[in-house]
Each structure stands twice: as structure tokens, then as C-alpha cells.
Structure 1
Amino acid sequence: MTARSFLFLLGSARTGGNTEALARAAAEQLPPGTGQRWLHLASHDLPEYTDARHAPGGPQAQPTTGDEALLLEATLGASDLVIASPLYWYSLSSATKRYLDHWSKWLRTPDPGFRAAMAGRTLWGVTAMAHAEEEVARPLELTLQHTAAYMGMRFGGVLLGNASRPGQVLADERAMARAKTFFARQPELARFPYEQ
């Protein structure tokens, strides 16, 4: 995969929120012609993940259809995946977590080559939060870093913004400054923090 293609996965419970605004500010800095696809997870009917690994007879191929198939295709079609989730209870939103839970299924069915296919791609995070203290977003950051490490992906870190009212993140000068160069970095392969 030579040309970069970004998949922005919007995990907010509503559209047009601060996390999306921050992600779009960062995306505006991408070179002209860079592929971008934006999907609002709450607008897609992704079923709850069912763990069938230890079902009688072993894990059976579960059909991947509808919005799940669309999300799988979009995921595999991107060189860079951007998880844009507000900080909900100090971690990812439920829609974002459900999407990542389906990676467990995709690791086994319909294509057991999912992990190998994801290796070398880059995982990024964007989040807006009401707290001014960035340390409270550490659980969200670790979730994404661990996910990238397990999958053999690069991890670009998390772009943080401070906001609670609609549009407020645009007044966060530090977040807006970071957004200008966030995707310009060349991330290394992710590692689990205890390996560093």
C-alpha cells in the first residue's frame, strides 16, 4: 500500500461534536489528494460482539454482512485508521469499543489473515474531553497503544483537546496548534509500555 488513505471512525454519540471538529482540523493539514473516508459509528448498525471462540465445535465462520461488512472493508482499505472518540468515563465511547470488539471476530472469521493485513498500518487517536488534565485520557491512550502493539501496527499517539460545550475545542489554542502537525509525524511500530 503506497498511497496513504485515512479512515476516520467517529465514535461520538452525536454528530458534529468537539472530537470530530478536532479531527477535521487535523485532517485539513493532510497533503492534497490524500484519501479520506469518514464514518460515524453510531450511524452504522454494528451488532454486539459475541465471543464464539469456545463454542461447542470450535469457532464457526460467522457471516459478515451489512454495516459490519462495510466497516471491515473500510478498515482493510485504509493505511491509517483514526479513532476519533470523545473521552467517555475516561476511556473510549461504547460505539468505538463495539467496533474494536469486532476485531476479535475478524481475527478468526471471515478472514484469519486480518492481523497480518493490519500489520504496518498506523493507528491514531483523537479525543476531546472536559478535563484540562491530560493524564485522565491515559486509559484511552493505552487502549489504542495496546491494540496497535498487538496488531503489529504503528501508533501515532492521541491528539487531545479540551472542550465540553459544542464548538469549544476550536478555542483550545494548544490543541489547534498540535492539530497542524499531528499527522505529519512518522510513527514507529507500537510497543506495549512494559516492553520499552
Structure 2
Amino acid sequence: MKAMVLSSSPRRDGNSAALARAFAEGLRDAGHESEIVVANDILGSFLKDCRSCRRPDGSCAIEDGFSSAFFESLLPAQGFVAASPIYWYGMSAQLKAFFDRMFCYVAASHPSSPSVVARMQGKRIGLLLSSEETYPTVSAGIVQQIQEYSRYTRSTFVGTVHGYGNSRGEIARDPRDPVARAYDFARSFFTAHATDYQIDTPRSGRVWG
């Protein structure tokens, strides 16, 4: 299996980047393939008005690395993991832009829209977060958005690792050891039990059969 790990912090040596590296290592040690993509390397622009900037053939006119990362890294992968610092109680602007830019390829006006929509579905989704603040709901907004993205794309939200730190690398001093937890999270990422029941979901009377 393969997972794309998007490191969305503007700090290459920051705390969420450390979680991304630990996750990628854990995934590889579990026998899977992982690829870390740094958002700053591929995003040169926010989403624009597709009606005014799309090329005549329907392709996206924004020339940066997003298209390559989207088609060559995200779509072929069975898993997607986002690593982000918490800024103003939300995800980084880079991570939000990554999600927003998907619209250009999902919209019916894009020539590959049907295949893109099909390939975006059914992935395993994970979230790696870092913040200075330890208040219990500091990550609630981001977790909710990832939950909704997962449900919208018929994907499985596996879980979250959240570590605390401010200065670069300080997350390693968090006594809960989030770096080790990110590594362990990756080891079971493709096999961990994860459910999102709806009222008509067929299920047995036991969780652990």
C-alpha cells in the first residue's frame, strides 16, 4: 500500500514536519510505501476563479507543482495523511489551499473529472497536528473538517496524532511522545479498525469478532 504524507507547515524543520517524517518512517517499516510532499514546494497560488482562468481545453491554468502532486502522488495512493500546525484554531493556509485546489479537477468542467472523482474515493485518511496550546478542543475545527472531507469522498478517517510544542523540534520533549505515536500510528494505518456508522449500516453485535 502507499500513502502520501503532506507536510503543510512553512517550517521544514518544524514540529508537524517531525510528525510527518515519523509517520513516513513507520509506514515504510510496516512494509508500505510512503511519500512526503512539502506543500510549499508544490503550491504557488491559491485557487482562482476557474470560469475565468481555466484553459480552453478545460485544464487548470495555474502553473505550479500541484497538478503533478495531485495526479502522481495523491490519486494513486491508498492513503492520505495531512500534517499541519494549528494556526488560529484551524489548519495551515497551505493545507487549506491544497484541498481547495482539488476543486479544479473535480468540477465537471475539467476533462478528467469523472476519473478524478472515482480515484479520490475510498482512501484511508490520517491527521498529524502540532500546537503550542494544549486546550482539549484546540484541534476541533481541523478534525471536523477532515471528518467531513473523509465522508464526502467516501473515505475512512483512521485517526489523529496531536503533539504540543512551539519552537522547532520541541515536540520531541512532549512527555506523551507524539513522535513515537505518529510512528506507531503509521504501522497500523492500513489495518486499524475504523468505523463511521450510518443508521442502515450492516453490522454484527460485536466489535471484536
1:148 — aligned with what?
150
1:182 — aligned with what?
185
Contact 1:76 1:118 in 2 (8 A): yes
1:112 — aligned with what?
113
Q: Which runs of 5+ in 1 are unaligned?
A: none
**Shift in CA distance, 99/191, structure 1 to aligned 2, threshold 3 Å:** farther
1:6 — aligned with what?
3
Contact 2:123 2:156 in 1 (8 A): yes
Deviation per CA, 1:155-191: give whole Å up to 9, x if none: 1222100000111111113224532431315253657
Shift, 1:17, TM fit: 0.5
Over the aligned positions, Cα root-mean-square deviation in angstroms equals 2.4
Matched residues, number = 185
- d(CA) in 1 for partners of 2:111, 2:197: 27
1:37 — aligned with what?
35
Greater Rg, structure 1 or structure 2?
2
- d(CA) in 1 for partners of 2:161, 2:196: 16
Contact 1:149 1:191 in 2 (8 A): no
Contact 2:57 2:111 in 1 (8 A): no
Q: Which runs of 5+ in 2 are unaligned?
A: 199-209
Shift, 1:62, TM fit: 3.0
**Shift in CA distance, 191/49, structure 1 to aligned 2, threshold 3 Å:** farther
**Secondary structure of 1:136's match?**
coil
Which one-letter code corresponds to 1:112 in the other structure? S
**Secondary structure of 2:160's match?**
strand
Which one-letter code corresponds to 1:104 in the other structure? F
| Residue of structure 1 aligned with 2:70, choices 56, 59, 72 | 72
User: Normalized against structure 1, the TM-score is what?
Assistant: 0.83
1:81-92 equivalence runs, <5 A:
81-92=80-91
- d(CA) in 2 for partners of 1:158, 1:32: 18
